[in-house]
Structure 1
């Protein structure tokens, strides 16, 4: 997630904190210092309440981290790759790079988070009962942690995707129907419905004398709506590109430039005449790297005639490359997750094509206009007869 910084590693999983989390840390500390602790632990100074609020906010986010670690460790036990955990304004997110392979795997991966939150809440409440007679700061902190974690567990069980409850619902529908795509459509539809209810609730709160609470509820609804729509769009991609490989979508004749020409020649003979923003760079028959407008702008103009492209380009080891046999569903996840507009397609260290976001979008538009629900695989295409070849199509520029 952009705007995050790494704070450490747990069980081989990188832990990041987004700067938006710092905002909620300040707001939560102030809210606890002005509301919860003066009533739960009266007679103390403002400084004491601020310190207790800060400690409680940190402990709550430790609880959120444990919640996300539960998701991540269960996912890893199923053989799924877990990249990192990010704490941000709405709590936390585990960056799990693949979807579960079975409905049971989805169920256990989703349900473990709320179970951990409810368990932490129950344990905190048990210790509160033991310490409640003392009317101490510790008792006030424990009661807050108990209430917050129980509410967190219950909230996450709401059956609205992408909340954990939505994923549990998806797993159940998947198990009943045997169709993960149908399960995703059902879960994301209900997720959008829940999001609209939060937004409506926020509007009612705003005009009922609770503007801050209304804005917060509306913000949560907007976040859930955006996430549900994103997942639904990804499910559409999965359906359209089922069993489709990169070789079927790539441009097999990408624009390339030699590594040994000067930046001046690159600009005069390639970028300006053809309106390019970037080009793949070749060293003989081998892909060497990528050159972009941004790379060129970093070099003073008077040095362009003497500077070879190979000195300025991004080398191939710094690029994301894919093979022609890779599945388009996995590659789209890579393009979206890394915010990459084009990917070189390489086989045996040789460039065989380029896959661009524009080409994928055009393919989706054409299929939507034709009413096609799924891209045909090579085998399906061959079984239905040869396709007409169009000789007047020009190769797409990189």
Structure 2
């Protein structure tokens, strides 16, 4: 997620914080200091209330982190790599690198998060009950807030709207009965869009009813859910359309191969300027050697362009993500999106056969839609996963 930075590692998973998290941390702290604590713990200074609000906000996000950590550890237990967890303005998100292989795994990964929130909420309520007889105890106010908020967090995440945990649970159930994860994702994402629009309308109603901040916040949550649900639908469309398509069937074979021994000046004069190239594929003999971009060239002083071979500046193939022609396009699309790559060289036995770019994938998708080839496969072609 752009604007995020790593703060520490927990259970082998990088924990990252997005800059938007700092905004919501401060807003939540001020809200608690001005509202909750003066009512629940009267008679103290504004500085004390601010400190209690800050402690409560940090502990709430620690609860969110445990919620996401439960998802991540369950995913790892099912053999799915987890890159990191990021805390941001709407809570937290686990960067689980691929989809589960079965509806049972999908269900367990989704449900364990709300269960963790319920457990934290229950523990906080139990501790609050033990000390509630102590009058004017600030710890009791913190525990009561954390207990209520975690229970609400667990309930909210069970709403059956993708990408909430409840939407993922719904997807797992539909997947179990249909045997098709892409169809299940599409249905769950559609439900998620309906839920998102409901949140947006609710937020607008609250805003015009006098609850300005609450209305804006709920509408923003709806907007975030809508964007995520639409993204999930597009992704499922890609995967379903290309489930039986290989890279070779879509890649562009219209490639220009540049020898590694020519100078940067010749590359610019003969290829980049006349053809408007932003990057070029480099060969060493008949073998694919690497890639050079305009950014690579800019790092070389202009007076050295005539004497510097392209091979000295290019990124060697060992540093590039490459794919083979027989790879499933569905898996490669996931690689393009997860690593934010615009194009991938298609290589076999050291020879460059073509280029797969986001543009070629989009064109292929549009052509298949126009021909009506994006319908789901017949049941006997669908891989039915065991729970």
Question: TM-score band, normalised by the shorter chain?
Answer: over 0.9
Correspondence 1:295 to 2:284: no
> Map of 1:221-370 to 2, 5 A cutoff?
221-252=222-253, 254-370=255-371
Which whole-Å CA distance do the structure 2 matches of 1:277 and 1:153 have between them? 48
Confirm or deny that 1:133 pairs with 2:160.
no
Residue 368 of structure 2 contacts residue 374 of structure 2 at CA under 8 Å; is this kept in 1?
yes
Aligned residue runs from structure 1 range 1-398, under 5 A: 1-134=1-134, 135-252=136-253, 254-373=255-374
Contact 1:56/1:141 (8 A) holds in 2: yes
Q: List per-residue Cα deviations over 1:27-65 (Å, max 9, x = no partner).
A: 111111111111111111111111111111111111111
Query: 1:315: Cα distance to partner?
Result: 2.7
8 Å contact kept, 1:241–1:375: no
Q: Is the 8 A contact 1:191 1:225 kept in 2?
A: yes
What SS class does the counterpart of residue 38 from structure 1 fall into? helix
Is the 2:263–2:306 Cα contact (8 Å) retained in structure 1?
A: yes
Whole-Å separation in 2 of the counterparts to 1:179 and 1:88: 32
Question: Matches of 2:375 and 2:312 in 1, distance apart?
Answer: 43
Shift of 1:375: 10
Distance in 2 separating the partners of 1:3 and 1:77: 29
Query: Could you list the per-position Cα deviations for residues 224-277 of structure 1 after superposition, in whole angstroms to 9, with x for gaps in the alignment?
Result: 000000000011011110122212222345222122211111111111122211
**What is the CA-CA distance between 1:294 and the residue it aligns to?**
2.1
Q: Distance in 2 between matches of 1:111 and 1:90?
A: 19
Shift of residue 178, structure 1, vs aligned partner: 2.6
Counterpart of 1:306 in 2: which secondary structure? coil
RMSD: 1.7
Query: 2:2 & 2:257 partners in 1: Cα distance?
Result: 31
- Identify the residue that residue 385 of structure 1 maps to in structure 2: none
What CA distance in whole angstroms lies between the structure 2 residues aligned with 1:269 and 1:116? 62
Residues 186 and 232, structure 2, Cα contact 8 Å, conserved in 1 = no
Distance in 1 between residues matched to 2:316 and 2:36, nearest whole Å: 56
Structure 1 residue 331 displacement after superposition: 0.9
Partners of 2:369 and 2:179 lie apart in 1 by 26
Report 1 or 2 for greater relative contact order, CA contacts < 8 Å, sequence distance ≥ 6. 2
How many Å apart are 1:123 and its aligned residue?
Answer: 0.6
SS in 1 for 2:272: helix
Gaps of at least 5 residues in structure 1 are: 381-398
Once the two structures are TM-superposed, the CA of residue 121 in structure 1 deviates from its matched residue by: 0.3
Q: Contact (CA 8 Å) 1:244, 1:375: kept in 2 or not? A: no
Moved over 3 A (4+): none
Q: Secondary structure at the match of 2:133?
A: helix
Identify which range, 286-295 or 9-18, moves more after superposition: 286-295
Q: 1:176–1:263: structure 2 CA closer, same or farther, 3 Å change rule?
A: same
Distance in 2 (alpha carbons) for counterparts of 1:276 and 1:354:
14
Q: Is the 8 A contact 1:281 1:291 kept in 2?
A: yes
Q: Compute the displacement of 1:374 (Å).
A: 5.7
CA deviation after TM superposition for structure 1 residue 217, in Å: 0.9
Aligned length: 377
TM-score for both structures, normalised by structure 1: 0.91
User: Which of 147-156 and 100-109 deviates more?
Assistant: 100-109
Query: In the alignment, is the contact (CA less than 8 A) between 2:183 and 2:236 conserved in 1?
Result: no
Q: Hey, what's the Cα distance between the residues in 2 that align with 1:65 and 1:95?
A: 13
1:100 Cα offset (Å): 1.1
* Contact 1:83–1:95, Cα closer than 8 Å, also in 2: yes
Tell me the distance in 1 between the aligned counterparts of 2:33 and 2:112.
32
**Alignment deviations for residues 163-221 of structure 1 (CA, whole Å, 9 cap, x no partner):** 00001111111222333233212211110000000000111111111111111111111
Secondary structure of residue in 2 paired with 1:305: coil
Alpha carbons 1:156, 1:163 under 8 Å: kept: yes
Quote the Cα distance in structure 2 between the aligned partners of 1:307 and 1:166: 56
